[in-house]
Amino acid sequence: MNKSILEMLTYIREQIDENIPVFMDVSGHQLLSLLKNKDYKPSFIKPNVHELGEILHKEIETKEQAQKELAHPYFQRIDYIMISCGDEGALCKVGDDFYDITIPSIDIVNTTGSGDASVGGFAHAVENNFSLEDTFKYSMACGMSNAQHGEVGFINKADVEKFIQQIHVQKLTIA
């Protein structure tokens, strides 16, 4: 499977368009093989904080620890990196800039598919030229909406609009 992920990325970059955005939500060995690839990188990745620690062989429990680890050479040349932090929201890296995304507390019914909903929301926002802050908010709101429903991959537009108003984005200074 690792090879086919790399083959797919290589095919997209060489045969379709080297600049087409490629959003990948993979983990474990698949993510590690992408990060080690020196030729091509995806445009977007979304590991959670535990998956980040797994690929770096470190215990990472906070956004601050995750921020420091994103200086690793594995993460160079990736346009957008979103580290999911569960009910603490997310840490995002865009270029050399970091953003702390905090989310409201919600009642959770089923988190299956919430990561996929967040990735889809992010891709939709990028494709539709949302501002960076609105992209983060839309992405997180889509994942949160999915978590409130029993169906997998279900997003309610009213939920998304409500959550967007409650999500906060703060640009972080690099210490």
pLDDT, tens only, 20-45 = 999 998 888 889 989 999 999 999 99
- Output 28 or 66, whichever has higher pLDDT: 66
Domain limits at 165? 2-172
Given this model, what pLDDT does residue 110 score?
87
Whichever domain contains 152, its CATH number is 3.40.1190.20
Residue 175 has pLDDT above 60, yes or no: no
Given this model, what pLDDT does residue 2 score?
55
pLDDT, tens only, 92-113 = 999 999 999 999 999 888 888 8
Global pTM reads 0.91
Total domains in the chain come to 1
Judge contact between 83 and 48, C-beta under 8 A.
yes
Residue 62 has pLDDT above 80, yes or no: yes
Given this model, what pLDDT does residue 137 score?
98
Judge contact between 152 and 114, C-beta under 8 A.
no
Residue 115 has pLDDT above 80, yes or no: yes
Given this model, what pLDDT does residue 136 score?
98
- Mean per-residue pLDDT over the chain, rounded: 92
Given this model, what pLDDT does residue 91 score?
97
Mean pLDDT along residues 116-141: 96
Given this model, what pLDDT does residue 1 score?
52
Other residues' Cβ atoms within 10 Å of the Cβ of residue 165: 9
